[in-house]
Amino acid sequence: MTDPLSYKINDSRITVSRNMGKFNYTIDKLINMSRECDGNKTENYFSKLIDKFKNTPKFIYNFQIDNKGTFAVTVLANKMNYSNMKDFKSDFDQCYAGGDAYPTMLNKDWLLFISSCGTGMASDSAKSCDEIKKLIMPSLKLK
């Protein structure tokens, strides 16, 4: 399977690992995320969404700096054929601090999510994550 993401690393301290997983959202998780963001989609709607994404592979990129803090980027096939961020966010947005997969970018083939770098605590891990995010985000491109 081809790599759906391109990026540039201009800092020799940053390493990246790529792992594969599968779509693993549940109806309850999607409903809770939707409610947190003042959404009102039904269980039936999310059941159909999950069926559409069932067994879809996801690519997880973990960017690290000096083995501290991780900035994670997840890419998933665009099985719902989202054409705009509003619709993508409507189904997957996370409206709480410290989320692991915020909808950030899309094209006709792929959906890109990024992790937060913590919940506001100024830990070394969060600082490293923020540093990586600032360096990597401008270069992220979906193929």
Helix, strand, coil percent values for the chain (each to nearest 5) = 30, 30, 40
pTM of the model: 0.93
Residue 139 scores a pLDDT above 60: yes
Q: What is the pLDDT of residue 66?
A: 83
For position 100, what pLDDT does the model report? Answer: 86
Q: Tens digits of per-residue pLDDT, 45-77?
A: 999 999 999 999 999 999 998 888 899 999 999
pLDDT of residue 119: 61
At 122 the pLDDT is: 62
